[in-house]
């Protein structure tokens, strides 16, 4: 089933330089059937968005700032989100902003059974992040795009110290999650681990640590061991992970 998404962008709060990577990321989660961006288009700081809108079929919504000190853009975006919710035309929302004012909106949409994906900068306040099903840092998308343009030799150098980005707190989170879904022998299906990690911490993303997928991230940590098993039909490999008996944070193998 094709998941239909409404993409609502806070134009005052997100730089236009990230739009290409952002739309490519959103396409992974569903079909963006509604794409709107909100802002006062009479203001010069939004001029960089104008060419991007045609290229990505995003509809600009004009919202004048009627009162000094009040964010009319936020209000317009929230009202539209509720109208779209009650129209029952979509299965989920992608809220693109780094503004904590959308925390209650994200919570309300999830209460209504909608999937909610957040995209914003690393400065985004935690309440908005945890109100989403999944939150993606926009800087990671840009960094990923840049890395894809590197030559393979340069990639090797760039990823040498990826393990150094992983903190003890990250390892503790992964360890406890493996414990939560492990069988009697301590093995946990990595797909279940990834799903639970996302629920516990919506902004958990292997790309934040320099890894494209969860498997190489887990594999880089000496605390864990990975086992690949064939499914019952022998068609594909299933990846399982468990904690080693001795689990201090060591050096990368």
Q: Which helix or strand (DSSP H or E) is residue 4 part of?
A: strand 4-10
pLDDT digits (tens, 9 = 90+) for 132-178: 999 999 988 877 655 554 444 344 444 445 556 788 889 999 999 99
Same domain for 57 and 123, yes or no, is yes
pLDDT of residue 102: 93
CB 9 within 8 A of CB 99: no
How far apart, in whole angstroms, are the C-alpha atoms of residue 119 and residue 129? 9
How far apart, in whole angstroms, are the C-alpha atoms of residue 139 and residue 66? 32
Model confidence, pTM: 0.80
Same domain for 8 and 132, yes or no, is yes
CB 198 within 8 A of CB 134: yes
- Asked whether the predicted pLDDT for residue 235 surpasses 70, the reply is no
Same domain for 182 and 129, yes or no, is no
pLDDT digits (tens, 9 = 90+) for 67-99: 544 466 788 899 999 999 999 999 999 999 998
Domain span holding position 30: 4-145
pLDDT digits (tens, 9 = 90+) for 92-144: 999 999 989 999 999 999 999 999 999 999 999 999 999 999 999 998 887 76
Cα–Cα separations (whole angstroms), residue 225 to 2, 185, 229: 36, 13, 13
Same domain for 165 and 218, yes or no, is yes
Among candidate residues 184, 242, 176, 241, the one with its CA nearest the CA of residue 204: 176
The count of structural domains within the chain is 2
- Asked whether the predicted pLDDT for residue 250 surpasses 80, the reply is no
pLDDT of residue 155: 46
Place of tokens 């900068």: 121
pLDDT of residue 160: 44
Q: Is residue 141 part of a domain?
A: yes
Work out the average pLDDT over 43-57: 82
CATH code of residue 23? 3.40.50.1010
How far apart, in whole angstroms, are the C-alpha atoms of residue 53 and residue 13? 16
- Asked whether the predicted pLDDT for residue 35 surpasses 90, the reply is yes
How far apart, in whole angstroms, are the C-alpha atoms of residue 253 and residue 245? 16
- Alpha helix (H) residue ranges in the chain: 19-26, 49-56, 72-87, 103-111, 126-130, 138-148, 152-158, 168-181, 190-200, 214-219
Tokens in use for 60? 């600009």
């Amino acid at each position: 089933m094709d998941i239909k998404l409404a993409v609502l962008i806070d134009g005052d709060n997100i730089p236009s330089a990230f739009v290409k990577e952002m739309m490519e990321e959103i396409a992974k989660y569903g079909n963006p059937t509604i794409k709107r961006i909100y802002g006062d288009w009479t203001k010069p700081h939004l001029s960089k968005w104008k060419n991007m809108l045609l290229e990505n079929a995003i509809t600009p919504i004009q919202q004048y700032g009627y009162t000094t000190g009040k964010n009319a853009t936020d209000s317009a975006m929230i009202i539209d989100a509720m109208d779209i919710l009650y129209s029952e035309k979509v299965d989920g929302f992608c809220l693109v902003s780094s503004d904590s004012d959308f925390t209650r909106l994200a919570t309300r949409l999830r209460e209504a059974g909608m999937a909610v994906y957040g995209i914003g900068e690393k400065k985004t306040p935690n309440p908005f992040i945890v109100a989403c099903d999944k939150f993606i840092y926009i800087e990671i998308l840009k960094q990923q795009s840049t890395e894809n343009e590197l030559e393979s030799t340069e990639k090797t150098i760039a990823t040498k110290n990826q393990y150094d980005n992983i903190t003890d707190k990250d390892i503790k989170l992964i360890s406890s999650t493996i414990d939560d879904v492990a069988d009697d022998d301590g093995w946990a299906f990595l797909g279940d681990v990834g799903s639970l990690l996302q629920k516990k911490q919506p902004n958990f993303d292997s790309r934040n640590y320099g890894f494209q997928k969860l498997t190489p991230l887990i594999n880089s940590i000496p605390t864990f061991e990975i086992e690949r098993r064939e499914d019952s039909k022998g068609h594909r490999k299933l990846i399982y992970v468990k904690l080693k008996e001795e689990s201090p944070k060591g050096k990368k193998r």
